[in-house]
Every structure is written in structure tokens, then in C-alpha cells.
Structure 1
Amino acid sequence: MWAFFHKLGSPRWFYGIAARLSPWCWALALALILVGSVWGLAFAPADYQQGNSFRIIYVHVPAAFLAQSIFLALAASGFVFMVWKIKIADMAAAMMAPLGAAMTAIALLSGSVWGKPTWGTWWQWDARLTSMLILLFLYLGVMLIRRAFARPQSGAKAASVLAMVGVINIPIIKYSVEWWNTLHQPASFTITERPAMPVEMWMPLLIMVLGFYAFFAAFTLTRTRTEILRREGHKRWVKELFEERP
């Protein structure tokens, strides 16, 4: 296991394996998101209380899930980079952060659009909404602090520390609806409990969630390959790679 772990940390090996995996991840993401969006937006029944306005759930929930998961991945990558000095972990973290920020912004925007007909307002300083806004600021902080140092190594370490400290916000987001009296509804479905929605409504939501995670994998693999070429461009194996191409 440790041998595989260190092999995964090799930029050259990761570049090759990512090239083989990324097309499959892109294809899976496209298929799942296409099926889930068409099913959810066109064929799922309307909610008995919210009508068709509930359909924004097929964007809001996957984006919110992914926003939190990416920050967990940032913290894990930062830990790996700080402890074992594995460069791939930092490269992947640098590529994941902008996507995480985008997903957080989408979750906040779609939540506001959903909240207007449901709550009668675009925004409330609700515990869930506020902690998601803090998550967006954490993402922005991670990206900015990486560029705030003259030495890239120092910026990478500072970004890793901020991600590891900021991860405490993730359980606050998750359990805020249980810890405080909030307007935000509880989770639409969980792994351990049967969804309250009928299967025709939660199945396309599940497909969309899986599609977003497949997109995350495809995006990270593709962008990390680009970052490897940027950082390792002076290495012999990179030069040989381009010399072999016609």
C-alpha cells in the first residue's frame, strides 16, 4: 500500500494514469449529468408544496455536496503535502480550489433563487447559509494566500495550513440545521435513511450528485496534468514526452 502511495506521488506516473482515466471520467460525468438533468427538469413530478420551483434542487444539492467535499479534499491534500512533501498533493489542491469556490458560489446563488419563492426573501443570515458563505471566503483565502508569497513553496504551505484549519467549518455546515433553529430544511437524503421524496424525485437527484462527483474527478485529473507540465517542464521526461510527439 505504501509503495502505491509513493508511486501515486510521482508526477510522471500520475501524468500517465490521469491520461488514461480522465476520458472515462469525462464520459461518465457527461452521461450522468445529461440523464439526471433531463429526468429531473422534464420528467420528475412537481412538488406538492413548492410546485416546479423545487427543481432547482437538481443543481443546488449536488453543488453544495461537491463544495464541501472539495474542501475536505483540499485539507487532506494539504496534510499529505505538509507531512510527506508529495508535490502531486499540492498540485491537485491548487487545481481543486477554484472549482470548489465555483461550486460554493453556485450553491449560494441557486439557494437564493430557491429561497425567494420558498421563504419570501433572497437571503437570510441562517446558520446554513452563513456557514456556506464562510466556506466561499475560505476558498478565496486559500487561493489568494497561495499567491501572496514570493516563494511558491511558502504559499503552498500557507494554503495547506488554512485548508486544514478551515475544515472545521464543514461539520458546522452539515449539522447547522440540527444544532440551531434554522430556516434551511434538513438534508434531502442521507446514506443511512430512506429518502422522504418519492423515487421519481430522488433518483435523478442521486444521478446528478454522482455526475457532479464524476465531473470533479475528470476536472481534477485534467487540470493536474496541465499543472504537472507547468511545474515539471524543465524535467527530462517532460521534454522527452514532447519530443516523441509528431
Structure 2
Amino acid sequence: MWKWLHPYAKPERAYQLCTTLTPWFWGTAVVCLVIGTVWGLAFAPQDYQQGDSFRIIYIHVPSAMLSMSTYVAMAIAALVGIIWQWRTAYMTMIAMAPIGATMTFIALVTGAAWGKPMWGAWWVWDARLTSELILLFLYFGVIALYSAFEDKQQAGKAAGVMALVGVVNIPIIHYSVEWWNTLHQGATITKLDKPSIAPEMLWPLLINLLGFALFIAAVTTMRLRNEIIRREIHRPWVQSLAEQKEKEHAI
């Protein structure tokens, strides 16, 4: 079932795949983000309770959801690296970590900006907010642990173990509004049978969610390419690639 993945354990094949996918990810991400953001901020109707302040949802919700999704993807890459000893899996994990941390930071900042007019406070030690803050620290921990080792294969293993342990925080974030009495509102779009949002507000949100996901994919593939080149700099295929690039620039 997973045999199609095996060739991408080789850094050269992974680099080629990233080179192919990156422009497609960037192109579709830009289109989705422009459509979703303009539609949501300028054309979606006002919320009957929150007025225009609800429009921050088009940034906050995608960043919050994808902060968790990116961490799960990072942990899966770590698991693949630990089980099958794929260097490219560890490279993928660390390529995603700063992006996930950025999404988490955006989610926290936009959540605070949204919370001020709704709750009257920039921050409360709410279960959802606190567990999201812990997620940011987990990202920082994975990045710091990976950077602490000179041997990047050992760094990947150590950081991968930490990433896997941190997965326990993801269901806590997701279900915190159900498990505890919190200020944070409940699910909005994950209730697939009947989302708690009008369709004319929902569609731009879904488009922006897709746009954010594609943006993360685009930046990840770019960062993964750079990580592969750094780690494989002395390999013949990298030297050949560098020579080819020099010839193209000379022309």
C-alpha cells in the first residue's frame, strides 16, 4: 500500500518532487487566499451579534485548525523517520516545525484580538487558549532540540520523539471546549451535519482554510528543498545540480 512512498526516502527523489509541487502549491494558495480573504472581509454579511468584528474568523480559524494539523503531520513524519529510518522524513518534520509555530502564533494573536471585544480581555487562562499556547511551546521545543545536535540524524530522532509525545496535546486542544466549561466558543465548521455558520459566511472560510493549507504545503516544500541541499551538499547529484544551475545563469 505504501510502496509508492519508498522512492521518496531518497533525498534526490524528494527534492525532485518538491521542485515539481512547489509552484502548483503557490499558485493555488494565492488564488484561494485572495478569493477567500476578499470574500470574507468585504462581501460576507455581518454577524448579527458580533458585527464586523467576527471577520477575524477568516484568519483565526484556518490558522488555529492548521496549527494542529501541521503538528500531526510533523509527528507522522517523525514516526516514519523513527520506524523506517528515513532521513527525508526527519527533514520534512523540521521543515514543517517553524511553519506550524507561526500558524500557532497567528492563531493566538488573532484569538486575543477577537477575544478583547467579545470577552473584554486580551487573554484568559481558558482551556483552549492555554492548550494552544502549550502547542506553541512544543513547536519551539522540537526546533530547539533539533538544533542542539550536530549529528542531524540523532537530532531528528530526539526531536521526533518529542514531537510524538506532544501529540497528546492535540485532542486536548480540540475537545477542551467540550471537556471543560470555557469561554471559548464550540465547534463552528467541524460539525459537518450542521455547521454553526451561515453558508454565505462558511464558503469563504472554507476557501481560506484550503488556501492556508496550500500555503503551508508550499513553504514546507521550499524549506524541505533547502534542508535537503544543506544535508546533501557533498553528494554528486547536488554538485551536478549546481553545475546545471550555473550553466543556466551563464546563458
TM range (shorter): over 0.9
Kindly tell me the number of residue pairs found equivalent between the two proteins.
246
Q: In structure 1, how many angstroms separate the alpha carbons of the residues matched to 2:172 and 2:3?
A: 36
Secondary structure of the 2:205 match is helix
After superposition, the CA RMSD in angstroms is 1.1
Report the residue type matching 1:229 in the other structure.
I
User: 1:190 deviation in Å?
Assistant: 1.4
Partner of 1:136: 136
1:231 maps onto 2:222 in alignment: no
Superposed displacement of residue 120, structure 1: 0.5
Whole-Å separation in 2 of the counterparts to 1:238 and 1:129 = 44
Q: Give how far 1:6 is off.
A: 1.1
- For 2:95 and 2:191, how far apart are their aligned partners in 1? 29
**Structure 1 gap ranges (5+):** none
Work out the CA distance in 2 between the residues paired with 1:190 and 1:223: 30
Structure 2 portions without partners, runs of 5+: none
- In the alignment, residue 218 of structure 1 is paired with which amino acid? A
Q: Which residue of 2 aligns with 1:36?
A: 36
CA distance in 2, matches of 1:64, 1:2: 30
Paired position in structure 1 for 2:99: 99
Residue 196 (structure 1) aligns with: 196
Query: 3-state DSSP class of the match of 1:147?
Result: helix
Deviation at 1:44, TM superposition (A): 0.5
**Structure 1 consecutive aligned stretches of length 4 or more whose deviation exceeds 3 Å:** none
In structure 1, the residue corresponding to 2:33 is in which secondary structure?
helix
The 1-side partners of 2:83 and 2:75 are apart by 12
Rounded Cα–Cα distance in structure 2 between residues aligned with 1:101 and 1:119: 25
Q: Report if aligned partners of 2:187, 2:196 keep a CA contact under 8 Å in 1.
A: no
Task: Please say if 1:88 is aligned against 2:88.
Answer: yes
Match of 1:109 in 2: 109
- CA displacement at 1:95 relative to structure 2: 1.0
Counterparts of residues 1-246 of structure 1 (less than 5 Å): 1-190=1-190, 192-245=192-245, 246=247
CA distance in 2: counterparts of 1:150 and 1:31, whole angstroms: 40
2-side partners of 1:131 and 1:3: how far apart? Answer: 37
Higher mean displacement: 16-25 or 177-186: 16-25
The answer (yes or no) to whether the contact 2:127–2:177 under 8 Å persists in 1 is yes
Judging changes above 3 Å, is the alpha-carbon distance between structure 1 residues 28 and 90 closer, same or farther for their aligned structure 2 residues? same
**TM-score using structure 2 length:** 0.95
**TM-score (normalizing by structure 1):** 0.97
Partner SS for 2:20? helix
Conserved in 1, the CA contact under 8 Å of 2:18 and 2:225?
Answer: yes
Per-residue deviation, 1:191: 5.6
- Partner SS state of residue 101, structure 1: helix
Moved more, 221-230 or 165-174: 221-230
Look up the SS of the partner of 2:49 in the other structure: coil
For residue 148 of structure 2, give the secondary structure of its aligned residue in structure 1.
Answer: coil
Q: Quick one: distance in 1 between partners of 2:149 and 2:229?
A: 22
Q: Is the 8 A contact 2:78 2:160 kept in 1?
A: yes
How far apart in 2 are the matches of 1:163 and 1:142?
6
Structure 1 position 10, deviation (Å):
1.3
- Return the offset for 1:12: 0.7
CA distance in 2, matches of 1:100, 1:211: 15
Q: Secondary structure at the match of 1:233?
A: coil
C-alpha displacement at 1:3, in angstroms?
3.1
Greater shift after overlay, 200-209 or 187-196?
187-196
CA distance in 2, matches of 1:7, 1:131: 37
Shift of 1:68: 0.2
Residue 61 of structure 1 aligns to which amino acid in structure 2? V
